[in-house]
Amino acid sequence: MRYSELFLPTGREVPSDAELVSHQLMIRAGMMRKLTSGIYSYLPLGYRVIRKVEQIVREEMNRAGAQEVFLPMVQPAELWQESGRWIHYGKELLRLRDRHDREYCLGPTHEEVITDLVRNEIKTYRQLPRNLYQIQTKFRDEIRPRFGVMRCREFGMKDAYSFDPDEAGAEVSYRKMFDAYNRIFTRCGLNFRPVEADSGSIGGSYSHEFMVMADSGEDAICFCNACQYAANLEKAELAKPEAELPAGSALLLEEVHTPGVQTIEEVCGYLHVRPEEVVKTLIFAADGEPVAVLIRGDREVNEVKVRNYLGCDALELASDDMIFKVTRSPRGFAGAIGIKARIIADYSLIGASAVVMGANREDYHLSHVNPGRDFKVENYADLCVIRRSDPCPRCGGKISFARGIEVGHVFKLGTKYSKAMKALYLDRNGREQTMVMGCYGIGIGRTVAAAIEQNHDADGIVWPLPLAPYPVIITPVNVNEKPLLETAEKIYLSLVEKGVDVLLDDRDERAGVKFKDADLIGIPFRVTIGPKKLSEGKVEIRYRRSGEVKTLTVSEVEAFLMERISEKCEV
């Protein structure tokens, strides 16, 4: 491609509305432009990178035995009513009506459509297993689109769905996808890590997220330094503590006057106790029903764990109204004794005794509370947010924390959709069985952005070779000097001949401008053709990542570059 003909508007200035480096650079490097909130147009350079990622994804999905399909983006409401998600999915689902007033939605994901397709066409175990995937534009009406392509409303996604006759088959399919994902992100040249994850509203029993490591990532993850355990923070388990016998403090329950003292901090200060000696009582509305969650004063409740424990759809902190209804006191004085709600407690309270707790009476707390003696807990469970001082739940080793960008997610769905939508088949014995499903997503645009977050410097993007829109740019420093341009053309044509995507910077610009642009758009190899070296029959090759420069004769260039590019070596 000749740069002079390329639609590539680069910019020197950092766009004021872009916060993340990847967002800034994608705009500055002329990869994309915003149309409206959370919706972007991709320009030639950006689209090229997207296609590189897509191609890697395709190759590895095909290799793993999946088959590419293409499903509708506009989907009828009936399908979503059948799965239950028409109600359950909420406002992220963009709904619309056609001229006949029939209801539709824009697909945020395609479980319903694929399940419908498969149930109509697959009738026997002989046709299983199957894994179908597509690369499609999805639409999710995000409350707050931000971070450029990282969290937008319209976005490109690869989604795959596996159908197996039984749980064991589904396990195999899941494993294949897990391995394929490892290959995909490795081939993209990314530093990533699969972590155990919560399966969220998509449902299902088991899932992993693929996280690209980046401080700017939206997700917090933790991992063990000793073993392989790694998990999203919202999923990370805490080991159940050894059940100590309650010290069984003989001290009697005592009501103490604590005017205006509400937070754990205030309670500790006022009563001269440590947070570990206080019980925090949080009241949640779980699908509208009050539930009291007890946890040690120094710990935080993990709402995802609470939601999963209760098996509820909606979970939020209770309103003042509800708090008053169950405790007959205002917010800040809730406790377990006499509360009109289910009571569950975190493992951190196992063995607790003689603790401080709200009295369910305004301006009063109770001290010397003994769980078991003074109130009953429905159950103890792991409801806590993990923290640095906690041991690895698997091996007891030391854990570390990091941030990551979720670029892929694999789920074992089980029969959630196949049951609801009757995706059935006849087994060997002629018996009707429910298919077992899995679903597997990769955010294409997000992968591109994550690659930039991980690969950039002060001058711009530094593409990993496999994702580079062009692996090579040829830069004659002055196109008005015939020999420079002619040599550039010669090298350009020889590489084009070999099938290399080369960019020839044939613009009548000063060398500095060309260098800055080449760095900004992150091309891995730059062939610089200048008068001094050329008079000796030589040109320079510069590595974008290291800045290292090699001087070669013109005749050596082609072979040198072909070798680097085909090796896919890191530069």
Partner RNA sequence: CGGGGCGUAGCGCAGUCCGGUAGCGCACCUGCUUUGGGAGCAGGAUGUCGCAGGUUCAAAUCCUGCCGCCCCGACCA
Enumerate binding residues for RNA (CB under 7 A).
10-13, 15-17, 19, 28, 34, 36-38, 90, 92, 108-109, 138, 140, 142-147, 151, 155, 157, 199-202, 218, 303, 316, 406, 409, 411, 441, 443, 459, 477-478, 480, 510-513, 515-520, 528-534, 540, 542, 549
Residue with Cβ nearer RNA (359 or 386)? 386
Strand ranges, E, within 237-371 = 254-257, 279-286, 289-296, 315-317, 342-346, 355-358, 364-369
Q: How far is the CB of 450 from RNA (least distance, A)?
A: 12
Please choose, from the candidates 420, 386, 241, 417, the residue with its C-alpha nearest in 3D space to the C-alpha of residue 304: 386
Torsion angle of C-alpha atoms 388, 393, 395, 397, degrees rounded to 10? 0
What lies within 8 Å, CB to CB, of 411 at 6+ separation is: 199, 202, 204, 206, 207, 438, 439, 440
Q: How far is the CB of 28 from RNA (least distance, A)?
A: 7
Residue 418: φ, ψ to 5°: -65, -30
| DSSP secondary structure code for residue 146 in this structure | B
Strand ranges, E, within 347-467 = 355-358, 364-369, 379-381, 399-414, 424-426, 432-434, 436-443, 456-457, 460-461
Residue 345's SS3 state is strand
Q: How far is the CB of 379 from RNA (least distance, A)?
A: 23
Residue with Cβ nearer RNA (74 or 549)? 549
Radius of gyration from C-alpha coordinates of the chain? 30
Q: How far is the CB of 122 from RNA (least distance, A)?
A: 24
Q: How far is the CB of 226 from RNA (least distance, A)?
A: 28
Residue with Cβ nearer RNA (28 or 296)? 28
CB-count burial class (<10 Å; 0-12, 13-18, 19+) for 394:
middle
Residue with Cβ nearer RNA (165 or 441)? 441
Residue with Cβ nearer RNA (140 or 361)? 140
DSSP string, 182-211: HHHHHHTT--EEEEE---GGG--SEEEEEE
DSSP string, 506-530: --S--HHHHHHHHHHTT-SEEEEE-
Q: Report the DSSP beta bridge partners of residue 315.
A: 286
The Cα 194–Cα 249 span in angstroms is 46
Rounded to 5°, the CA angle 552-553-557 comes to 70
Residue with Cβ nearer RNA (104 or 411)? 411
Q: How far is the CB of 175 from RNA (least distance, A)?
A: 19
Q: How far is the CB of 80 from RNA (least distance, A)?
A: 14
Residue with Cβ nearer RNA (359 or 462)? 462
Q: How far is the CB of 136 from RNA (least distance, A)?
A: 10
Q: How far is the CB of 486 from RNA (least distance, A)?
A: 15
Residue with Cβ nearer RNA (108 or 165)? 108
The Cα 31–Cα 8 span in angstroms is 8
Residue with Cβ nearer RNA (20 or 369)? 20
Amino acid identity for residue 417 in this structure = Y
